[in-house]
Structure 1
Amino acid sequence: MKADADALLFSMKSFAAAMLAYYISLCIGLPKPYWAIVTVYIVSQTSAGASLSRGVYRFLGTFIGAAATVAIVPNFVNDPLACSVILACWIGLCLYVSLLDRTPRAYAYVLAGYTASLIGFPCVLDPGAVFETASVRVQEISIGILCAVLIHRFVVPKPMTSQFLTKLSTTLNDARRMANDALRGAPQEKSRRDRNQLAADLLALQGLATYLPYDPAPATPAREKLQLIHDRLARLLPLATEIEDRLHALNIRDHDTPEELTALLGDVETWITAAGATERELVAVQLIERARMLQARIGTNIAAHGDLLAANLAGHLAEMIELLHDCDRLGRDIATAGQSREVTLLRWRKRPTGYVYHRDSLMAARAASGAIVGIVIGCAFWIWSAWPDGALAVSVLGVCCALLGNVDAPAPNVVKFLVGSTYAVAISLIYSFVILPRVTEFAVLVAVLAPAFLLAGSIQARPPTTLMALGITLTTPILCGLGTTYTGDFAMFLNSAVALFAGTGFAVVSMTALQTVPVDAAINRLLRVSRRDVSRRACGSAPEEAHWTSLMIDRTALLLPRLRVSDASYADVLDDTVYHLRVGHAVDQLRRAVEHLEGDLGDEARELLLATAARFSARRQTKPVEALALNRRIETLMTLFAGSSLPERSRLLDILIDLRFALNPGGATHEERDS
């Protein structure tokens, strides 16, 4: 019922904004005021912050796209095909940049291509009208943006901050549950679900956080604190797996675990499940101090391999407590807008990184080039056939490529839009030739339009049907000819509908053939890129640690929806992303630790790094014998470090333990994991 009420409220506000924009456009005499209505429904979002953000970026994109069109079209006045190719290249460039951006800012690039398609192709054969068309279109769209932003921001606004805080609370609970399951030795399937949920939570939090600066709430969380809490939550994901592996290994070897460590594990589990935040605050510092002291005491016995492992586990426990403790305090500070006190962080005093997006220039270029080829083919057919309404069809094709080409398989989304457009044609037919001829006053016009637009708007507020609803709300005003006067030209209506279906239908065909990436290819591409980056980290070409961790979590979040639609079985794919994350972390730690180490020890450590880089090279497959040789290298280097007099040998041994467990998750050998 709440979802229905929210959808109805969104629909009513969007319709009010659309009618206000339409009325203003009529009053000032704009020739095609229906573009103001279309703009309202494109800009409108379910929250005030998202609507303002989308409005700002739509205006910027529209202005840039109009300027680009005015610069392109007059220079090819005598060569329509060349002009069409340049416009197609501009749309492809905008799509390419938007695919690399992956933030709300990408919408500006999408609209720059979208606008060029709407303005440019109809002016290819009439270049003298391009400036006037662009100028009028910018005015119509600006009015629509202004009305949508004002209505959604000041009329029963739905702030994004409350949604973000609710999601943050859920994410912190998920993080604590994941940590608790790691300590309790939960089944592997349960641990995998915990990790996947946290990765999805972090992506969802980032999606909400990007709109917070535009939110009408009195106070929004500071960007630095959002980055800080993200960095800590991101580090928790691989850390939980590290702790699981240590506990599993200690049990496998029947090691006589120190009583202090057993007691510490029980106390940490009790602390994690404690309900009171104040109680956790007081106990956290004591637990951290106990874990560090235990690590230092047990770790002095370098000759005992079991003690080294127990010390390593104690160190990871201390880090996990610190991270959860920091998350608790940051979460409370963010919820109170940080007005009362300053958060003092126990660790990670380095500059926060925040969420890092995976960007694949090759896949973006593939999608952009496919869009360019498809649009050029459509333009060639239009110009060769001299189809009078071909410009409209190609404009629709360009809009589909720009607006819906940001996913692996865009054709299904275009089909949803086409289904909505089909409904729009039927609705427009009834309005244009049955209802509108009898309307003589604006108030009556608003009343008769309300049922269709209110229903479509409520459908648009629901994510599963948003694209279908957009097909209705974007197409109906255009086909109905909601201009300054009633025209009622059936031939024009029919030709426009045919052009609409032709453009959208060809978009489905061209985007299926030229822009679709098979889901299995996308999954394998992400895994190959992750392997390549592990190799680069071993060789020293790597970003800092928090950047690497966040990047790998984003890749995990990108894999989740792809795995759901794949017909193939990928039982261990998400485990592999954590595997790559842990190995990348360990090799980078080792590389930094031995960077200035001289002599045989330094040479041996660097040879280990090179061997690890070779194993994860994206151009070759790992053989079991190579993995076994790598494990033997680690054992040899541990023996050499243990027998040395290096002051930092305890830390080096700790890093090598991390690397060994990262390469062999669960204590077993995974020589064929990367094959």
Structure 2
Amino acid sequence: MNSQTFLRMRFACKLTFAILGALVFGFYLQLETPRWSAMTAAIVAAGPAMVAGGEPFAGAIRHRGILRVIGTFIGCIAAIAIVMTFARAPALMLLVCCLWAGFCTWWSSIVRVENSYALGLAGYTALIIVVLASSNLSETPQFAVERCSEIVVGICAAIVADLLFSPRSIKKDIDRAVDQLMIDQFKLLKLSVNQADKEEIDKAWNMLVKSTTAVNGMRGSLMMESSRWQRVNRRMKALHSLSLSMITQACETFIIMQTTPELVPEEIRLLVNEPVENQHDVRQRLKRLRQIGNALPAENIALPLYSWIGSASRALLMIKGIHTNGSISSTENNVLNTEVVVKPASAEMHHALINGLRTFVASAAGCLLWLWTGWTAGSGVIVIIAVITSLAMRTPNPRMMAMDFMVGMLAAIPLGSLLYTVIMPATQQSLFLLLLSLGIFIFICGIEVQKRRLGVLGLLVGSINILVLSNPMTFNISTFLDNASGQAIGCIIALVVLAVIRDKSRDKTGRTLLNRFVSSAVSALTTKAYRRRENHLPALYHQLNQLLVLFPNDIGKYRLALQLIIAHQRLKLAEVPVNEELSAFHKKIRNTADHVVSSQRESKREYYYQRLLKEMSEYQQKLVEYDAPPKVTEPVRRLCDLLHNYQRAFLQ
């Protein structure tokens, strides 16, 4: 048995133990609907495995469970508040619940991805409680307490299962990834110095950006695992910024080599071209590069190349600390406290609005169907609609997520029928046989969910839902058929709403991102010390990743965005003459650039953009008047040319 098979088997055992444990605890505590505990354990444990394509790292299940508890409590409080306010107007009460679900989905679309889960839950939890308590609204607080109890039981079972079945630590993967990161940085520098083909540079740069982003993502998983990795977390955060700086400096070296190749001395070229296979080679090569860089006059070596050597030295210092998790030295502390990282603002406001609208319309359609037909399973339709639309919206492909649920829910009907009509009635005299029959099914789903099979997650959740596991257990065929058909119809309605309300925000989001690159490049024009300490690179590359996702085949947009990132870094290091007139001009230019980003109408955006071009032209003349050195005037001229040549891309 190879390691991958072992990990898949281990997670399948973990998932089986979590769901069955939640079910047993639910029966033992005499909860009214233990299936909610089992469903919670299934979603909390299987969701991260579906996303990761394998066993999730230690802490991921615990973190997701905590978010689920937070979201459930917020949703319960919202449900009680809505019932207390609109109890005398049931239709209006349901409408407000749908609005609440849409609002939470909108909010979850503009916050950090790892925190959006709690908001999505807060939205549909309120709707579930109000719908289930609609027959007797005075029992809403009791429903809320029971809901919270069931959720907590399911989460506790998932966390205990994760701890018992040897949680998978991410630390070894981090150690390997940071070592490979430095080797890839040297390869990119080699391509830049040797003036490789643009396609080859683009490929190496793209892969390195993805690797840097992946390493930074591991940082979150590591902190979920244990608080003892605090020092490693700080170093990885600094390494992320240093790695992005090195990528930018290597690409700028490539640009400089096209016009002034003499700024890259021959001895550095020869040294960079030597093969680098491991960390020992990296350290030796960097040591010799530092010796050559210190021996040469500053004007004989390109500034980006010199900066790259310094960034690489600091990155190696961080990597050594990541491996050892030792105490932070004074030298490391200086590196960690050098800059203030600026968090990126969301550019997906229109996309978030569409997501919220989809959730509201789908939930309202389910409520209308329920009120119009009076169908007993109508509440199940609403619940499934709310769950799918709330959780699917934050995924890169919401329609595919809804399709996964629909396929799984349809497949759950025949499988659930077999369990409900044949297997479960035969095991009523023995809890062991009941758990064994369910455990075999859950174990198989645990294997397949790690392979990202279409419909497996929906099959697992849908089957648990339609079995109506209750205390005491009853077998009512009409209730079963209502639940099964209700969740299938709910999936279909959600998918139809996603197809009808199309998300056409891609071009608008892409233009906003490009304009933010312009604004960031312009914001580097400053003489304020505190502004120069701001590190915008993580935010810029985060936006660049969004651009890659939105336009996977548009290499022109990537190159344009990268040139603006390079311009930002170059202007940040430029020694702009310090005087009040230029400081006032900087503020004026930044204000105009902000208006370009925030303008909604095309005519207004074009007006501010032309005004920005005019102000940048005037700024160039001001720099000449104040005898600014070429290290300042040259990058400003390059930025002006860039803004002038590509204004159509920024405006349309």
What TM-score does the superposition give when structure 1 sets the normalisation length?
A: 0.84
Instruction: Please give the residue correspondences for 1:92-491 in structure 2 after superposition, counting only pairs within 5 Å.
Output: 92-216=102-226, 219=229, 221-250=231-260, 257=262, 261-270=265-274, 275-280=280-285, 282-290=287-295, 294-295=297-298, 298=299, 314-339=302-327, 343-344=331-332, 349-353=337-341, 356=344, 358-407=346-395, 409-439=397-427, 440-462=429-451, 464-465=452-453, 468-491=455-478
Distance in 2 separating the partners of 1:250 and 1:671: 27
Change over 3 Å in CA distance of 1:589–1:101 after alignment to 2: same
SS of the aligned residue for 2:634 comes to helix
Aligned to 1:67: 77
**Offset of 1:143 from its aligned partner?**
0.9
Asked if the contact 1:622–1:672 (Cα under 8 Å) also holds between the matched residues in 2, the reply is no
Counterpart amino acid of residue 4 in structure 1: T
Worse-superposed segment, 528-537 or 227-236: 528-537
Change over 3 Å in CA distance of 1:123–1:173 after alignment to 2: farther
**Offset of 1:104 from its aligned partner?**
2.0
Aligned to 2:51: none
Change over 3 Å in CA distance of 1:586–1:510 after alignment to 2: same
For residues 53-103 of structure 1, give each alpha carbon's deviation from its aligned partner in whole angstroms, at most 9, with x where no partner exists: 111111111122112212212332221221112212221222222222224
**Offset of 1:348 from its aligned partner?**
7.7
Worse-superposed segment, 27-36 or 266-275: 266-275
Worse-superposed segment, 538-547 or 514-523: 538-547
Worse-superposed segment, 479-488 or 432-441: 479-488
**Offset of 1:342 from its aligned partner?**
5.8
Does the alignment pair 1:656 with 2:616? Answer: no
For residues 187-225 of structure 1, give each alpha carbon's deviation from its aligned partner in whole angstroms, at most 9, with x where no partner exists: 111111222222222332232211222215964643322
Distance in 2 separating the partners of 1:248 and 1:345: 38
Instruction: Please give the residue correspondences for 1:564-583 in structure 2 after superposition, counting only pairs within 5 Å.
Output: 564=552, 570-583=554-567
Aligned to 1:306: none
Worse-superposed segment, 178-187 or 528-537: 528-537
**Offset of 1:153 from its aligned partner?**
2.2
Change over 3 Å in CA distance of 1:602–1:136 after alignment to 2: closer
Change over 3 Å in CA distance of 1:629–1:612 after alignment to 2: same
Distance in 2 separating the partners of 1:145 and 1:609: 48
Asked if the contact 1:375–1:394 (Cα under 8 Å) also holds between the matched residues in 2, the reply is yes
SS of the aligned residue for 2:131 comes to helix
Distance in 2 separating the partners of 1:502 and 1:347: 57
**Offset of 1:399 from its aligned partner?**
1.1
Distance in 2 separating the partners of 1:217 and 1:614: 43
Distance in 1 separating the partners of 2:497 and 2:527: 42
**Offset of 1:333 from its aligned partner?**
0.8
Aligned to 1:301: none
Structure 2, unpaired ranges of 5+: 49-55
Number of residue pairs the alignment of both structures matches: 634
Asked if the contact 2:179–2:319 (Cα under 8 Å) also holds between the matched residues in 1, the reply is yes
Distance in 2 separating the partners of 1:495 and 1:192: 55
For residues 623-642 of structure 1, give each alpha carbon's deviation from its aligned partner in whole angstroms, at most 9, with x where no partner exists: 9999999998787667655x
Distance in 1 separating the partners of 2:99 and 2:590: 44
For residues 597-618 of structure 1, give each alpha carbon's deviation from its aligned partner in whole angstroms, at most 9, with x where no partner exists: 55xx889989988998899997
Asked if the contact 1:199–1:554 (Cα under 8 Å) also holds between the matched residues in 2, the reply is no
Counterpart amino acid of residue 579 in structure 1: Q
Asked if the contact 1:171–1:202 (Cα under 8 Å) also holds between the matched residues in 2, the reply is yes
Does the alignment pair 1:596 with 2:582? Answer: no
**Offset of 1:548 from its aligned partner?**
2.2
For residues 535-562 of structure 1, give each alpha carbon's deviation from its aligned partner in whole angstroms, at most 9, with x where no partner exists: 6666999976654221110111122233
Instruction: Please give the residue correspondences for 1:11-22 in structure 2 after superposition, counting only pairs within 5 Å.
Output: 11-22=12-23
SS of the aligned residue for 2:168 comes to coil
**Offset of 1:349 from its aligned partner?**
4.7
SS of the aligned residue for 2:554 comes to coil
Change over 3 Å in CA distance of 1:638–1:352 after alignment to 2: closer
**Offset of 1:321 from its aligned partner?**
0.5
Distance in 1 separating the partners of 2:112 and 2:587: 37
Instruction: Please give the residue correspondences for 1:47-66 in structure 2 after superposition, counting only pairs within 5 Å.
Output: 47-66=57-76
Asked if the contact 1:53–1:104 (Cα under 8 Å) also holds between the matched residues in 2, the reply is no
For residues 416-466 of structure 1, give each alpha carbon's deviation from its aligned partner in whole angstroms, at most 9, with x where no partner exists: 11111112222111100111111021111121112221111122223x33x
Distance in 2 separating the partners of 1:418 and 1:540: 57
Distance in 2 separating the partners of 1:55 and 1:552: 31
Distance in 2 separating the partners of 1:356 and 1:615: 17
Does the alignment pair 1:503 with 2:485? Answer: no
Distance in 2 separating the partners of 1:119 and 1:669: 57
Asked if the contact 1:245–1:661 (Cα under 8 Å) also holds between the matched residues in 2, the reply is no
Distance in 1 separating the partners of 2:59 and 2:93: 38
For residues 507-532 of structure 1, give each alpha carbon's deviation from its aligned partner in whole angstroms, at most 9, with x where no partner exists: 11112333634645543443344445
Distance in 2 separating the partners of 1:81 and 1:386: 13
Distance in 1 separating the partners of 2:353 and 2:386: 17
SS of the aligned residue for 1:104 comes to helix
**Offset of 1:182 from its aligned partner?**
1.4
Asked if the contact 2:339–2:533 (Cα under 8 Å) also holds between the matched residues in 1, the reply is no
**Offset of 1:169 from its aligned partner?**
2.9
For residues 454-495 of structure 1, give each alpha carbon's deviation from its aligned partner in whole angstroms, at most 9, with x where no partner exists: 111122223x33x72221221111211222343221111111
Structure 1, unpaired ranges of 5+: 252-256, 299-310
Distance in 1 separating the partners of 2:532 and 2:165: 45
RMSD: 3.7
Counterpart amino acid of residue 279 in structure 1: Q
Distance in 2 separating the partners of 1:185 and 1:77: 71
Counterpart amino acid of residue 509 in structure 1: V
Aligned to 1:4: 5
Worse-superposed segment, 59-68 or 275-284: 275-284
Does the alignment pair 1:561 with 2:549? Answer: yes
Distance in 2 separating the partners of 1:589 and 1:493: 68
Distance in 1 separating the partners of 2:598 and 2:150: 54
SS of the aligned residue for 2:536 comes to helix
Distance in 1 separating the partners of 2:514 and 2:134: 44
Counterpart amino acid of residue 75 in structure 2: G
